[in-house]
Structure 1
Amino acid sequence: MTPRRLYGLVRWYLRELTGETAYERYLERHRRAHPGAPALPRREFERQRTDRGDEHPGARCC
């Protein structure tokens, strides 16, 4: 495996782990489900995501 490929895999894994890709996935789903409708700005998306996490903690420790 080349260093470049390894870097790409590590970067992908860390982005998935930290939830950084959640907004990108939201935009893709939004484009398919609501073509032409404006999507939430990233700040609003993150605010709603945080609020949902606070309301439904699930398996979180805190």
Structure 2
Amino acid sequence: MTAVSGVRRAVDWIRWYVGEVSGESGYDRYVAHARSHAPGAKVMSRREFERSRMDAREADPREGFRCC
């Protein structure tokens, strides 16, 4: 393994980790799931997905915004 490939792997891992922690990868998982289960169906845009996710969090107090 060369130094360049090691650095690339580290950067890829950091990018993956930040995406998982921040929730950014949720949309990617949604798109993959939607396309695999209903290939012809319309997939929500990222904006629609985020709005739907926020609405669901606000509707369920166990799911959403807690102070602790």
**TM-score with structure 2 setting the length:** 0.76
Which residue of structure 2 lines up, in the alignment, with residue 29 of structure 1?
33
User: What residue ranges of structure 1 are gaps of 5+ in the alignment?
Assistant: none
State whether structure 2 residue 62 is matched by structure 1 residue 61: no
Give the number of aligned pairs: 62
Which residue of structure 2 lines up, in the alignment, with residue 45 of structure 1?
49
| Deviations 1:5-47, CA, capped at 9 Å, x for gaps | 1111111000000010111111111111212111111111100
Return the alpha-carbon distance in structure 1 between the equivalents of residues 20 and 58 of structure 2.
20
Structure 1 stretch displaced more, 34-43 or 13-22: 34-43
Aligned alpha-carbon RMSD (Å): 1.9
Question: 1:56 offset after TM fit, Å?
Answer: 2.2
Return the alpha-carbon distance in structure 1 between the equivalents of residues 49 and 26 of structure 2.
9
**TM-score with structure 1 setting the length:** 0.82
Give the number of the structure whose alpha-carbon radius of gyration is greater.
2
